[in-house]
Amino acid sequence: MGTINTNLENLLTDVRNCSICEGLPLGPRPLLQASSTSKILIAGQAPGRKTHEKGRPFDDPSGKRLRQWLGVTEDQFYDPDLFAIIPMGFCFPGTGKGGDLPPRRECAPKWREPLLNHLPKRELTLILGQFALDWHLGVRKSKTLTETVKRWEEFWPDILPLPHPSPRNIRWFMANPWFEADVIPVVQKRVAALL
């Protein structure tokens, strides 16, 4: 496994040069951003094909919806001094029958804790999707993502469980109008205060 760097910049370089996943359909291209002054952590799943090709996390329709939810500009979102983007898997895992495959299992055990330990200014963690919920909430999560998101106030104001902002989740958004009506305004207010 090797030694994990204690300096964040060196650690980010190590992550970006990582190739522990074998057989990725598009090869390794770890995507993340972080700074020791990041105030908000976005803990997502794994980059999609479009973001892999562009080389920038959330540079797709999911990212556009996420930025709208947060009430931030693209410049703010991609400022690592404001937002750390550390997904469960850093590389595009490939596509299956129902969409993108789950994040690769090798990534999180090797890199997550060392990276999260370098975020001393973090005041809010946004958790996107089931795999990130499993890691960050563990036994505190409910049986379904919807049930966990409905309990968002139990984790607030430090942690916010979210559905993935993917266009594939349009049915979820339509079935749960309370989310954008009740949760998003509170999120935007908190994010604005942190920035």
Full-prediction pTM beyond 0.85?
A: yes
Backbone angles phi, psi at 44, to 5 degrees: -105, -160
Nearest to 5 by CA among 105, 90, 111: 111
CA atoms of 47 and 103, how far apart (whole Å) = 9
Task: Write the CA distances from 168 to 27, 86, 189, integer angstroms.
Answer: 24, 21, 27
Strand pairing report for 95-96 and 99-100: antiparallel
Averaged pLDDT for residues 3-26: 83
The answer on pLDDT for 4 being more than 60 is: no
Q: Which fold has domain 8-194?
A: Uracil-DNA Glycosylase, subunit E (3.40.470)
Task: Name the token pair of 67.
Answer: 């930025």
pLDDT of the residue at 179 = 97
Backbone angles phi, psi at 7, to 5 degrees: -90, 130
